[in-house]
Structure 1
Amino acid sequence: METYSAYNVAVVLFAAFGSLFAGYGHAVIVSTVVEGLGRLNGLRLAAVIGVIGSAIQTGAVNQGMYLAARVITGVSVGQVFTAMPTYFSEVSPPHSRGLMAGAHGSFVNAGYALAAWVGFACFHASGSSFGWRFPNAVLLLFALCVLAGTFFIPESPRWLCARGRDQEALQILCKLHHDKNDPEDHFAHRELGLIKKQLDADQAAVLADGKWQLFSKETYRKRMILALMLIIGGQNVGVLVINNYNTLLYQSLGLSTSEALIVGAAYNTWAMIGNFVGAMVSDRLGRRKALLGGYIANVAMFTIATALIAKYAENSSKSYAAAALTFLFLYVTAYGGAIDPNQYTVCAEIFPSHLRSMGTGLAVSGLFLADTLWLQLASTAMATIGWKYYLVFLCLGVVHTIFLYFRLPETSGLALEEIDALFGKAAAGHIQDEELEKIAATHYDTKVHGSEGDAREVQA
């Protein structure tokens, strides 16, 4: 027993050290890959790594092989978590960026829901290797889907502009933002002008302030702190601990293993539905209202659920158990509908193009550090103090709510290049429409609409 405990302590210590080391390193590596290869090639690389890792997991013949494969798939997951919000934010028009970027959190929850139902199904085949090999094979299938999907979506126009490929960027912007009420694609041309103007300002800032401006400039430090508080806050309210230990939690409320698995799958499915609904109303409601409302409701529902779990621990009344489950579902409604679809959106959109991958990567690394901390503590904490462990998340939820109330600006409806103004930096994109038209016309590709006359008409 002492040897086992010592082994666990060593694992926790090395995991913590590894996470701290990888936190910054992961962000640097991922951002370098995404910036150097492009948004799409970065996703393709992540998908290929995921295919390799999940294939080895599925065919593992011993624990060492399986754990090594888990490391490989972990690299893939980390890269996707960084690349997806960055890509979504850069290809979305301002009026629907919440919907499109919020899709990241929505599909993450769709994955949780699918995993929960697959886990329930494979529970009945736990007597054979199929019970654990099949769930890993599902990972392989979806990694292949991600890889295939990258060949049907466009590259980020902002990344193309940063590489001097303006004509390709314009063609993509025209396709992405074409509207029957704007047959000449004036919106796309204006956006190209904004992007070019902002890139020029960003390049000048890099020359003046160096590559470490994310930490040396106050405007970027504010954004980095906000991004970390958003992403880490999403874990500090206890959602992952509940999700990963939901079977044990539901069993502690009197459910059988099979019943607990069904309720856990339903819980994740409900969270997925909430995510999709939240993403659809994000642009209409606004990021600030959604996140603050989500945190307040989340903390309130979790407070009541924790009190009911404490009452159940005293007398094992089924009425307390049923009420606790109800408020846990209300808790995840607030999280899935308001917090999850907006946290990744804000995290990606508050950084300028040249720092977006790095800033998002560091914030996502904070997510994995928080997950490592709470999950490593969970088994010991729940065995020793039980429901009181949830009080930690209640307190942290209050702290994050107060911070966001004073520090979170409203970013919905703004072009990415206009968000600088919210953090005390003059936005390079704040120029008159006439100037934007002139800038855009100089980059206008006559091949998009087919004649030089069209280009002259736009410039006029």
Structure 2
Amino acid sequence: MGGQFADTGVATQDYHQFIDPNKKWWKNRRLVTLNLWIFLLLVTSTANGYDGSMMNGLQLLQQWESAFNYPTGSKLGLLGAIQNIGSLGSYPFAPYLCDGLGRKRTIFIGALIVVAGSIVQAASQNVNMFIGARFLVGFGLGFCTAGAPMLVSEIAYPSQRAPVSSVYNALWPGGAFVASWVTFGSFHIQNSWSWRIPSAIQGLPSLFQVLLVLLGPESPRWLMAKGRNQEALATLAYYHADGNERDPLVQFEYDEIKAALEAEQIQKQTGWLQLVKTPGNRRRLRILIPIAFFSQWSGNGLVSYYLNQVFDTIGITDPVEQLLINAFLHMWSLILAVLGGIFCDRFGRRPIFLTSTAGMLVFFTLQTICTSQYALHGNDAAGNAVVAMIFLFGAFYAIAWSPLITSYCLEILPFNLRAKGYTLFSFAVSASLVFNQYINPIAMKAIGWKYYIVYCAWIAFELVYVYFFLVETKNRTLEETSVLFDGDDNVAKLQQHALNKVDDGDAPPSPSNEKGSVEMLEKA
């Protein structure tokens, strides 16, 4: 960054100057502890990803099919979509819980609902009970997925924020991977436990969150927004500087957060209408809403939820073979998604998104061609090539659209609009999923492989849109990123605030209470 905000010409401090590049985080006990808390939050995405693969696997189980009278068409679409319908039901409440009760209490409430829903799902006696339980699971996950990624991005060590925030969504394939092997393992159970066990295991990650999440740190930004500045400073110091509130990095973070919050309050960036009132916020929405739909409307929904129907079009009908391919596909996606998240600050968001989308277009087009050749001519080689194309398409999808969409969304939103903006983003994701999950099986049944052509055209449109509208944000703090959207005026407000602090003697909470505040966190 060279000590400046890109494209603004306004000089400002860079947090990198306060970080020793030779200091290894795994040698710092408190950073290790912080990252363990973050890992507990990351499993939210694992729980979310588990569902799609579980439903894929259950459709391959004769015991599940017979228990629910072999659902097809709209009934199968409803079974796939109902969890996301449940998530949609929670979104009107999620931002108010996140901003009112705090991030971690919102996660606790959501996780508790998921556990209850998983128990009901595993105990289902008919298809309606199963559908109701899946709605309950989705409703709880809506709260978890609202609070967890925000808390990750707001408590992470500055130089680790982008990678760990990106790994959050990268673990979606991790949940899918676990579910694929669980359903594969239960395949040979010759009774209803073949599908009840995977249904019950879905609640396991949320159970850990119920037991532990309230013991972890709360967002310093949320604490400061509630006037609890001393607790915020103590949290930053405890996890980012071994408890030293005088540490330059802690002082920099504290001052920057405080200045940004005050600037947002001056601009009255709190209500829903603020999302469309300023040019910067409209620019944010022009990015957030499309990438939410792109993340689900890129042909990936066919593989995520209806892989068995894709296999049927190319003659792979053996359930064991289908389950194995499903399992290895998710392991492949998990590895590449994590790598895409880890290296997002090295290569930048735009290059990764562009490479990902271009690769998706190439290999989904080839998948369509190979599928058509099998359907029209019965070419076995073409059918086998489809499997290879699915893996290559999945690789390019995984490096950007799995890890980066959540972290990118959160980092371009200012604090006071982060919960509302992220809720709108999540609503768009769930709405696109509901549409996909309901329409895909109907369209696949009606026109078969020709349905793929629609996605080929759509991915081409995505590539053009990403090229013209995505903004690069690498190597910036959450507060610095806002400058790219709100312009120099926001920087001027931050600098004026810093000058006023010096003139008015307005300093952060006194480090004289350092020992007490750190001891408070240690006891917690």
TM range (shorter): 0.7 to 0.9
Task: Give the distance between the partners of 1:177 and 1:282, measured in 2 at CA.
Answer: 22
Paired position in structure 2 for 1:231: 292
Q: Are 1:388 and 2:450 an aligned pair?
A: yes
Task: Give the distance between the partners of 2:337 and 2:501, measured in 1 at CA.
Answer: 38
CA RMSD of aligned residues (A): 3.1
Paired position in structure 2 for 1:162: 225
Contact 1:189–1:440 (8 Å) recurs in 2:
no
| Aligned pairs (5 A) from 1:274-313 | 274-313=336-375
Paired position in structure 2 for 1:212: 273
Count of aligned pairs between the two proteins: 441
Give the share of equivalent positions with the same residue, in percent: 28
Residues 194/226 of structure 1: CA separation in 2 closer, same or farther (3 Å cut): same
Residue deviations 1:414-446 (CA, integer Å, cap 9, x gap): 111122221134335753998599588433433
Q: For 1:225, give the aligned amino acid.
A: R
Task: Give the distance between the partners of 2:132 and 2:200, measured in 1 at CA.
Answer: 16
Aligned to 1:102, the other structure's residue is in SS state: helix
Task: Give the distance between the partners of 2:348 and 2:462, measured in 1 at CA.
Answer: 18
Residues 43/310 of structure 1: CA separation in 2 closer, same or farther (3 Å cut): same
Q: For 1:252, give the aligned amino acid.
A: T
Residues 17/173 of structure 1: CA separation in 2 closer, same or farther (3 Å cut): closer
Aligned to 2:421, the other structure's residue is in SS state: helix
Q: Are 1:71 and 2:135 an aligned pair?
A: yes
Residue deviations 1:113-136 (CA, integer Å, cap 9, x gap): 1111112222222x3110111011
2:240 alignment partner, one of 173, 177, 202: 177
Structure 2 stretches lacking a partner, 5+ long: 1-68, 518-524
Q: Are 1:144 and 2:144 an aligned pair?
A: no
Task: Give the distance between the partners of 1:90 and 1:401, measured in 2 at CA.
Answer: 30
1:197 alignment partner, one of 251, 255, 259: 259
Which shifted more, 183-192 or 103-112? 183-192
Which shifted more, 52-61 or 210-219? 210-219
Residues 175/410 of structure 1: CA separation in 2 closer, same or farther (3 Å cut): farther
Q: Are 1:27 and 2:91 an aligned pair?
A: yes
Residues 277/436 of structure 1: CA separation in 2 closer, same or farther (3 Å cut): farther
Which shifted more, 437-446 or 371-380? 437-446
Residue deviations 1:296-350 (CA, integer Å, cap 9, x gap): 1111111112111111222333322222211211111111122211111111111
Residues 92/433 of structure 1: CA separation in 2 closer, same or farther (3 Å cut): farther
Return the TM-score normalized by structure 2.
0.77
Residues 162/17 of structure 1: CA separation in 2 closer, same or farther (3 Å cut): same
1:109 alignment partner, one of 173, 177, 181: 173
State the 1:69 CA deviation: 1.4
Which shifted more, 365-374 or 420-429? 420-429
Aligned to 1:412, the other structure's residue is in SS state: coil
Contact 1:170–1:444 (8 Å) recurs in 2:
no
Return the TM-score normalized by structure 1.
0.87
Residue deviations 1:390-429 (CA, integer Å, cap 9, x gap): 1222222122221121111111211111222211343357
Aligned to 1:427, the other structure's residue is in SS state: helix
Aligned to 2:490, the other structure's residue is in SS state: coil
Residue deviations 1:366-410 (CA, integer Å, cap 9, x gap): 111111112211122112221121122222212222112111111
| Aligned pairs (5 A) from 1:26-425 | 26-125=90-189, 127-178=190-241, 184-206=246-268, 212-255=273-316, 256-425=318-487
Residues 200/114 of structure 1: CA separation in 2 closer, same or farther (3 Å cut): same
Contact 2:74–2:438 (8 Å) recurs in 1:
no
Residues 152/103 of structure 1: CA separation in 2 closer, same or farther (3 Å cut): farther
Which shifted more, 270-279 or 417-426? 417-426
Paired position in structure 2 for 1:455: none
Q: Are 1:445 and 2:480 an aligned pair?
A: no
Contact 1:247–1:264 (8 Å) recurs in 2:
no
Contact 1:286–1:412 (8 Å) recurs in 2:
yes
Contact 2:293–2:428 (8 Å) recurs in 1:
yes
Residue deviations 1:139-177 (CA, integer Å, cap 9, x gap): 222210222341453111100110111111112212333
State the 1:363 CA deviation: 0.7
Aligned to 2:92, the other structure's residue is in SS state: helix
Contact 2:104–2:148 (8 Å) recurs in 1:
no
Residues 19/184 of structure 1: CA separation in 2 closer, same or farther (3 Å cut): closer
Q: For 1:242, give the aligned amino acid.
A: V
